[in-house]
């Protein structure tokens, strides 16, 4: 079996496995991007002949492509993730008994790229966006984008969570609105994701809920449109770019001030598994108090 044949089989599996609403999700597209340099460099190679040095050569081609291609350069972190996705292809092949585990074991010996020891660049560390920058951008974007920015800062919602939020998801039975998201990035690990809307966020929700049916999305735009609108405004103002996701850092900073690290983790949906209803209720109480004060 060649790598071309293995990747063809894996991509067919991944197309349905990494899907949402019947369509391939972002992870599928990341996988497709990761295997492209693998196919270009070693597609005709037999599985048994592909080892750590071969994988390293593929990784070097990713670094070299940063200079040779017009696409956005891949960062060190993204390249490391791409290599992990390639290993995942081989792991799947072993699980399907297409070949033995020896190849995978050899590939696992390749160490990741380390900071400062590679030509691959790192993105600047993300931090809270300065308030004056947020305000300047708010004055440049359309009302819907401005309201989504405000909701992101008030609730810590991810852009993808906001654009898929529908009217029927909103539980308005208490003074703090709750949204238990049926689909989110950590659902497959058994974790839940809840958004909490305090008084300020509720004013925005009420404005956008008017005239909509239960199935309608609160913010009917694409996720990319949200962040691209922010980046265009930054370019127009000639200030450093940021995206909608960066606003979670602003929210997290406030959550931590109000309730500590654990509360921030709950509000941002980082690490609290829904193990028991007792813990879930305790998390809710703390999150609701923060939403009342901040959101």
Quick: pLDDT tens for 84-140: 999 999 999 999 999 999 999 999 999 999 999 999 999 877 789 999 999 999 999
Q: How far apart are CA 51 and CA 108, in angstroms?
A: 10
Which DSSP symbol is given to 18? S
Give pTM, 2 decimals: 0.72
* CA 120-122-126 angle, 5° bins: 165
Per-residue pLDDT at 257: 85
Distance (Å, whole) CA 149 – CA 159? 9
- Per-residue pLDDT, 188: 55
Q: What pLDDT, on the 0 to 100 scale, is given for residue 68?
A: 60
What integer is the mean pLDDT of 250-266?
A: 83
Residue 268: what pLDDT?
81
Report how far residue 195's alpha carbon sits from residue 204's, in angstroms, rounded to the nearest whole number: 14
pLDDT band (50, 70, 90) for residue 185: low
pLDDT grade for 270, boundaries at 50, 70 and 90: low
Those residues whose C-beta lies under 8 Å from the C-beta of residue 56, and which sit 6 or more positions away, are 110
Of the candidate ranges 47-51, 199-203, 268-272, the one whose mean pLDDT is the lowest: 268-272
For residue 108, the model assigns a pLDDT of 97
Ranking 146-155, 167-176, 285-294 by mean pLDDT, the lowest is 285-294
Whether the predicted pLDDT of 39 surpasses 80: yes
Q: What pLDDT score does 42 carry?
A: 97
Using an 8 Å Cβ cutoff, are 2 and 41 in contact? no
Q: Which pLDDT score is estimated for 103?
A: 96
Calculate the average pLDDT of the chain.
89
Please, is 271 exposed, middle or buried when counting C-beta atoms within 10 Å of its C-beta (0-12, 13-18, 19+)?
exposed
């Amino acid at each position: 079996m060649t790598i071309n044949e293995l990747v063809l089989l894996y991509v067919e599996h991944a197309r349905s496995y990494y899907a949402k609403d019947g369509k391939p999700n972002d992870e599928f597209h990341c996988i497709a991007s990761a295997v492209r340099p693998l196919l270009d460099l070693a597609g005709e190679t037999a599985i048994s002949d592909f080892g750590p040095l071969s994988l390293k050569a593929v990784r070097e081609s990713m670094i070299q492509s940063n200079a040779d291609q017009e696409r956005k350069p891949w960062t060190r972190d993204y390249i490391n993730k791409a290599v992990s996705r390639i290993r995942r292809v081989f792991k799947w092949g072993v699980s399907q008994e297409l070949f033995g585990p020896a190849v995978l074991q050899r590939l696992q010996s390749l160490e990741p790229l380390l900071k400062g020891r590679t030509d691959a660049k790192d993105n600047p560390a993300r931090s809270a966006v300065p308030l004056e920058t947020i305000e300047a951008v708010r004055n440049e974007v359309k009302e819907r984008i401005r309201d989504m920015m405000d909701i992101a800062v008030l609730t810590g919602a991810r852009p993808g969570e906001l654009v898929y939020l529908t009217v029927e998801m909103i539980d308005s039975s208490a003074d703090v609105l709750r949204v238990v998201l049926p689909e989110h990035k950590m659902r497959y690990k058994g974790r839940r994701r809840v958004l909490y809307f305090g008084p300020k966020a509720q004013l925005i929700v009420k404005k956008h809920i008017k005239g909509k049916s239960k199935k309608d999305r609160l913010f009917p735009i694409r996720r990319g449109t949200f962040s691209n609108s922010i980046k265009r405004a930054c370019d127009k103002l000639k200030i450093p770019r940021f995206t909608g996701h960066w606003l979670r850092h602003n929210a997290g900073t406030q959550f931590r001030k109000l309730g500590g690290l654990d509360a921030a983790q709950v509000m941002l949906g980082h690490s609290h598994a829904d193990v028991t209803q007792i813990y879930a209720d305790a998390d809710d109480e703390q999150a609701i108090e923060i939403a009342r004060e901040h959101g």
